[in-house]
Structure 1
Amino acid sequence: MANVCRSPMAKVTCEAIAGTLLPRPTGLRALLKRKALCFDSAGAKAGLGRAQADARAQKALKGRGYGPAKQRARRVTTSDFIHCDLILAMDSAVLSDLQQQCPAVHQHKLHLFLDFTPELRGQDVPDPYFGDAAGFAHALSLCETGAQHLVRALIQGEVPGVRLKTN
């Protein structure tokens, strides 16, 4: 909820996986430049000000060969509900908070992060904040799996209401 562990890890893994799965020469850079694709990280209750991603999350990412999570913690805003095509929560408690904050017209954009992974649909990515390195490794593994399925679903046009233009 503080936007320093799972969400930054999910953002980094989504960007990395999109960079490998998107067809060439389009690639992630071209889509980002055209603003046709954007991954962001925000918390339902980002309570740690503009904190950087947790050092343990950064260590888990680095251990798997990812770059650092560079964004700072921030809270979801009304603008996010309006401008984002998809808003993903890492667990059902966060999803519930988002559902309470989100205007009715944008409720269809809210999902759990793992909802695009058939075998994990409806499941939470556990919050590793109060745990050890193993908890961060497990959360990162779920982020990687979820990101693989999410990016594939985006590319294949399987996300309702979202059309990714790769041309």
Structure 2
Amino acid sequence: MKLLVICLGNICRSPMGEGALRARLAEAGLAGRVQVDSAGTSGWHAGDPPDRRAVACAKRHGVDISGLRARALIAEDFLHFDHIFCADRDNLFEAQKLAPAEARERAVLWLPWAGVGESAVVPDPYYGGEADFEHSWALVDAAARATVQRLFRRDDSGIIPT
């Protein structure tokens, strides 16, 4: 199973989401069975570490994302990843424009897919403060927990321990 988390620049929401997913998968004993990555629909920050405020926020929750580096989403990602979780509608739209037609459905709004909210999105904390990063963390962590539960329950997920 391969999961990709998407936001605009891959320096705030998606690296926090990647970190949260990795942490929750590790807690569930699934770390070696699921590949997790993140990317941005823009390449503005390619090669950059996550925003220092995102790193600090994740660290407050016991997750180290300081070693991650931003990259841009590419069309091949749709052939490599099973699920592509988008932070908001704009990123979903941009991701689906890039996707090959046969793989377009792999990109979804992450929170609704995980059952965290029917039309919920992860707001971009970039222009906000610590409280905004904490709010985004709470959402991606809730989605990560729900994602692990959803995948763990699926008989066809390929990650259920035997």
**TM-score, length basis structure 1:** 0.86
In the alignment, structure 2 segments of 5+ residues that lack a partner are 1-7
2:121 matched to 1:124? yes
2:73 matched to 1:76? yes
Aligned to 1:4: 11
Task: Name the CA distance, whole Å, in 1 between partners of 2:118 and 2:50.
Answer: 26
- Residue 39 of structure 1 aligns to a residue whose secondary structure is strand
**Residue deviations 1:101-137, cap 9 Å, x none?**
1111001211111123324132110000011010000
Q: Post-superposition, which runs of at least 4 consecutive aligned residues in structure 1 deviate over 6 A? A: none
In the alignment, structure 1 segments of 5+ residues that lack a partner are 32-36
Aligned to 1:34: none
Q: Is the 8 A contact 1:116 1:153 kept in 2?
A: no
* Structure 1 residue corresponding to 2:159, chosen from 141, 158, 164: 164
Deviates most, 115-124 or 42-51:
115-124
2:106 matched to 1:109? yes
Report the alpha carbon displacement of residue 78 of structure 1 after superposing the two structures with TM. Answer: 1.8
After superposition, where does 1:1-167 map in structure 2 within 5 Å?
A: 1-22=8-29, 27-29=30-32, 31=33, 37-157=34-154, 162-167=157-162
State percent identity of aligned pairs: 28
The verdict on how the C-alpha distance between 1:157 and 1:63 changes in structure 2, with shifts beyond 3 A counting, is same
Q: CA RMSD in A?
A: 1.6
Report which of the two has the higher share of strand: 2
Q: Is the 8 A contact 1:12 1:69 kept in 2?
A: no
Task: Name the CA distance, whole Å, in 1 between partners of 2:124 and 2:14.
Answer: 10
What letter corresponds to residue 133 of structure 1 in structure 2?
A: E
Q: Is the 8 A contact 1:44 1:75 kept in 2?
A: yes
Report the alpha carbon displacement of residue 165 of structure 1 after superposing the two structures with TM. Answer: 4.7
**TM-score, length basis structure 2:** 0.89
Q: Is the 8 A contact 2:15 2:65 kept in 1?
A: no
Task: Name the CA distance, whole Å, in 2 between partners of 1:69 and 1:101.
Answer: 28
Question: Which protein is bigger by CA-based radius of gyration?
Answer: 1
What letter corresponds to residue 66 of structure 1 in structure 2?
A: V
**Residue deviations 1:65-90, cap 9 Å, x none?**
11234221100112211111111110
Q: How many residues align?
A: 155
